[in-house]
Structures are given as structure tokens and as C-alpha cells.
Amino acid sequence: MSSTTYRVQGLDCTSCAFKLEKGVQQLDGVQIATVDFATSKIHIQGTVAPEVIYQRVQALGYTLEAESQGRRPSSPTVGGVRGFWLYLQTRFETRLALIGGALTLAVLILALAGMPLLLVNVLWVVAMAISAYPIARDGLNNLAINRDFNINLLMTIAAIGAVLIGEYLEAATVIFLFAIGEALEGYTTDRARNSMRSLVELAPPNAIRLENGQERQVPVENLHIGDHIVVKPGERVPMDGTITSGTTEINQAPITGESLPVYKTIGDPVYAGTINGTGAVEVEVTRLVQDNTLSRIIELVERAQSVRAPSQKLIDQFARWYTPLVTVIALLVASVPPLLFGAPFWGHEGWLYRALALLVIACPCSLVISAPVTILSAITGAARRGVLIKGGAYLEALAGVRAFAFDKTGTLTQGMPQVVNSYSEPCTGAETCPDCDEVYALAAAVERRSTHPIAKAVLSAAQQRTVAERYAPATDVEMMTGLGITGRVANRQVTLGSHRLFDREYPHSDSLHQAANQAEADGYMTMLVLDQNQVRGYLALSDTVREESLQVVQDLQRLGVKTVMLTGDNATVAHTIGQQVGVDEVRADLLPEDKVNALQGLLDSYQRVAMVGDGVNDAPALATATVGVAMGGAGSAQALETADVVLMADDLRQLPYMLRLAVFARNLIRQNILLSFAVKLGVLLLAVLGGATLWMAIAADVGISLVVTLNGMRPLRFERQPQG
């Protein structure tokens, strides 16, 4: 069974997505067909021939292009009125609508000049037929394939009904306005989609590869891992890689949202799509074009846009019975008063005309578009600022978060601890102490098998004392999650662990216990060292609080959110850091399972809780929280896959922004739903009372769809900092 993905042209609303999905699913050989409205893609699993799929999709009023096509736009997208005019000319149905509209206007002018009425009416019917052809074809095909009514069939019935009662100009005009309105809705929706797709243009299509010392320009698709490329000043970086020669400053805003350039030197990573500063650098390629950070971001965001929020699911379910319900009401309006009360049926004042107006207002587009466009725009806007939100469900959950739980190391602190002191028994107190050197050497041997920030700090300190290579790297190394690490060094079992672990498992002298307590009271974290059965001493480490932590915590508190720090460090160190950053509550000495239990308690108290951690060590806590937020870093594949939200630049200042954005998006969705309901209900009542014309009904439908779409796109321009 094969799996194929196509991009769909003409997918204007979620009702269209349901129709297409249902129609393709019925094909023989199709096992699964799913349509993502947000990304305008259809995913098909089965053994059906591609030409059969193309024919079915075309019969339902859409066109397909292979997923591999169009990934790199050949020219920039034109916006505004000119962009809409070009958009109209690219679609068969809108070209016919333009012809029909032009004919309608020309005949109106000729009618005012004295053309015979019979000829005028015939030409208006012709104009209506031209505009209505693709609409009627789609409606009838959908009825034949899916066995249900869609808005295109209802509009066709309304237009034919208008002709039957002699409203020729109105029939031609309503069909024209409907076609243009649908196109306008599709155009604005595509603009929202393309705001994310345009990221693919950030990475240049070609790169300068070094071949035997010579520079040669090649397509990025031809580059392999290990190739060396040159990035000149002012150019965009074409591929993910590591600098092997030169220094520069790079603008990483397209990837991480950082406002200031970042200094880069030999060994530092660079990312495709970022902008090189004033220095020329040589870069070794570390990822293929399809696997680079920019491609992964686009893929994750497109996947996120397809994850529907609860409110969106509710609206979609409502829309499925809204149109049939209004259609039944229209039938009753057309038949009951004339049959039971002798009311007029034909003519502009007849009940058939009122029923036709109801059919026009039966279109649910403005309702079903109210949530997805807003969510699409919010997720895209956040991604362009370095915040990856992995779905509408998480965006909606963020809007209701009442508490933020923070890991300490690497989240509220820099995550780059340094060894600042040591203690050994016995210690001579001399400038060069053999016993202290042995503590460093044993610790370095075990930590050489770890990538934890503490391991890096221990190795760095041991190297400064020139004892890092005294012992070979430890064997049989085992991590004791949240407690320490142990391994075999020179046939001895060496363990590094927290003071709490040693108090519980490994007896040590009162003097060492008191010294460790004093170090922790001074705000340091201690790692004790066990050599076989002898506790040798400890290393004291210090981690620096992030500059932005205090401000971020205060901003969250001003938004009405409780802040809690969860850490495995001892209570003394934890409370010292907690006071510096201003969190409401500190919970210390927590193992990973303790963090999960603490989060469960917060969920019981606050219902919706966000957890902010490093995306790897805090995976259980991130999974337990309502929303897990990873301090990912632009190159961390683990963070991109672990959490519900990823901060690409490790910038805590994005937290208040994403919370405000989520609340803003939720309010927009509510505004759109209420506005759509109010307008449709108002026109529906006017239609029943005889106060609404077909013109008014179509203008209301098209107008409210446009207003809802434009309102839903506002998160694209939502600023990180509040104005005023």
C-alpha cells in the first residue's frame, strides 16, 4: 500500500475539505484519505492510480499538484488588489465569473440605452449560465458522488429559482457575487497559508561549494553531509552546518526570532535561512536540505496547523447540520404559507423568493472559517518569532493556562554551571592539594561519559588542574536519574551524587556534612564523590540566573498566572534561586517522578498548567502538563519532537508573548463566531419576514466571510510586547 501527498488548489474552507475527503475516500483502492485544510494538502493511502485520483478531485471542483512541486516559489507572491486580480485569472471558475459579470454589466448598460427587454433578459440568463456553470457542475457532482447538498448546489437552485420568478438581473448578479466572494475567501486564506510557505524562500537555492580549493556554485540539493561551503558577507546561509574557518555575526531572526545578531566562530552551528554579517566563513554541511532546521520548522508548523482545536471541531460538527437545517427551513418557508394560508408563491413578494434568500444564507463558510484561519495565523505568526506551537489544541490550551511550572537548571538559569570550590578529606589547605586533585580526577573520569552540563563543568575544572586525563574514561557508567552518576574507574566503583543521596546511602564524616551544608547555604550545588567505600569530598557548582528570568516571571504574574519552580536541587539552593527570579513557590529535592506528582497537584488546583523545561530530561513532566514548553535551541532535534511548544532561541521572554497571543487568538475566534451567528441570524429572520433580497443575502454571506477571514489573520501582525 503506497502513501501519496498532493497539494490541493481551490480549497477555500473546511466544508470543502470534508467534501473532498469524503469523495476521494469512496474510490476503489483508497484505504485512507485525509484532507488538511490548513496546509491545503490531501494524504492518500492505497493502491489507486494517480489519474483516477486526479479525475475524482477535478469532478469535485479542485485541482492537484504533486507535493514535490511548488516547494520553492519561483517568484514572490503579489498582494493587495493586483494580487487578487491575478488570483482570479488563475482559476477556471473565476475566469468564467468575470466573463459573466462583464456581460451582465454590458447588458445593463444596453438595457438603459433601450435594448428590447426580451433580449436583455435572455442575455442576463446567458451571463448567469456562464458564471454558474462550474458552480452547478460542482454541486451536481457532489450530489452524485457524496449524496449530499453543498452550498454550490443551493446557489444553483437559488439562481434558477430567481429566473423562474422573473428576477433575471438578480440571478446573474447573485451568481457573479457568489463566485467572486468564494474567490476572495480563497485568496485571503491562501495569503495566510503562504505566510508560512514563504519561509522556504529564506534559504537560497544555490551554494558555493569548495572543490579542491576551487569555488563552484551548485544547487543545495546536490550538497552532502561533510561538504564545505563558503558563505560570503551579507548572504543567506544555504545549509545547516558548523563553521570551520572565519568569524562573523549572523542574524538568526528568521529561525529563532532573536532581534540581535549572534557572534559565531569556529565550531559554532549555523542554520539555513539565517543572514551572514560582515565576515566570510567556511561551513561544513551537517544536514541535507530536506533535513535542515528550516525544513523541519516548516514541516512541524504545517503539521501543527492540521491539528484541530476543540472549538474548531465543535464548529465543524455544527456546520454539518446547519446547512441541511436551513435548507429544510427554506422548503417549509416556500411551501407552508402558500399551501396552508393562501399566501403568494411566485413573484418578488412571494414566499418562494424568501426561501431562495434562505438558501443563499445557508452557506456556513463564515462559521467554519472563523477558527482555522485564526489558528493558522497565530501558529504561523508565532513561528516567525521563534515559537513553535504544535497545534490549535495547544494554542487554545495556552489561552486558559493559570499556572507556569519551571525547571531550574537551563530554564531559569543559564544551564552552564561552573565548579567554584571543592572540599576533600583530608585537605592540606595548600595551593596544590593532592587529595583535592584526586576528587577532580575521579569525577572527570566518570563524567567523560556524560553530556550533562554538570559533566562539562567538571571536565573543564579538571582540565584546569591538569588531572582530567589521570584516569581512563569510566566503564559500566550508569545514570541515577535525578541523583547522580556511577561507573568503574581503575577497577574501583566511583559515584558522584547529590548531598541528599549521600546522606541516605553513603555515610560520611560530620565535617564533610557540615562543609557541604555551608556550601549549599551559600547558594551552591554540591556533588559528593564516593571512591569504592570512601567518600572523598565534594565539588561545589554555581549556575547563573538568566538575565530575563525575573522580568518574565513578573510579566506572567501580571497576566494573572501563578509561577512555581520545580527542581531536583536541594531546598537551600532552590530557594536562593527562587528569590532571585521572584517565583511564587519553590519545590525542591524532586526526582523526575516527584516533578510529575507535583504537576499533577498543580493540575488539580489550577486545571491548566504549562511546564517549561529543557525538552529532554524533563520529558515526563512536559508530557504531564497541559502544555509542555521546551527550551529547545534552534538545533535541538529532541526538543522539536518532545514538547507541545518549542522556544527556538531559548528565550524566556517569548512566554508572555505566546500567552498573550493565545488569549488574543481565542478572543478573535469568539468574535468571529458571534459575528457570523449574528449576521446570519439577522438576515435569516429578514428573509422569512420578506425584508431581505437575494442581493442582501449574498452580500451578507460574502461580506461576513471576508470580515471573519481578515479578522482571523490579525495574529500574523501581533506584537511581542503590548503597545502603549
- Annotated catalytic residues are 407
SS3 content of the chain, % helix, strand, coil (to 5): 55, 20, 30
CA distance 703 to 15: 18
Q: In this structure, are residues 362 and 154 in contact, taking their beta carbons and an 8 Å threshold? A: yes
Q: In this structure, are residues 329 and 358 in contact, taking their beta carbons and an 8 Å threshold? A: yes
Query: How far from 190 is each of 11, 332, 358, 373, 711, CA to CA, in Å?
Result: 9, 38, 29, 10, 15
Distance separating the N- and C-terminal Cα atoms of the chain? 57
CA distance 83 to 96: 18
Residue recorded with cell 501581533: 718
- Exposure on the CB side of residue 161, measured as CA atoms within 13 A: 26
Alpha-carbon 155 to chain mean position: 36
CA distance 422 to 519: 10
To 5 degrees, how large is the angle CA 469–CA 473–CA 479? 135
Q: In this structure, are residues 240 and 272 in contact, taking their beta carbons and an 8 Å threshold? A: yes
**Cβ burial 365-401 (10 Å sphere, 16+ → b, else e):** bbbbbbbbbbbbbbbbbbbbbbbbbbbbbbbbbbbeb
Name the residue among 493, 479, 496 with its Cα closest to residue 439: 496
**Cβ burial 617-633 (10 Å sphere, 16+ → b, else e):** bbbbbbebbbbbbbbbb
CA distance 316 to 364: 10
Q: Would you mind telling me the total number of residues written for the chain in this entry? A: 724
Give the three-state DSSP class for 355. helix
Name the residue among 675, 611, 600 with its Cα closest to residue 642: 611
Orientation of helix 372-383 relative to helix 694-712, angle to 10°? 20
Q: Which run of H or E residues covers position 175?
A: helix 168-197
Q: In this structure, are residues 12 and 182 in contact, taking their beta carbons and an 8 Å threshold? A: yes
Query: How far from 183 is each of 81, 186, 187, 330, 519, CA to CA, in Å?
Result: 13, 5, 6, 26, 69
Q: In this structure, are residues 493 and 460 in contact, taking their beta carbons and an 8 Å threshold? A: no
Q: In this structure, are residues 64 and 7 in contact, taking their beta carbons and an 8 Å threshold? A: yes
Strand 214-219 and strand 228-231: the pairing is: unpaired
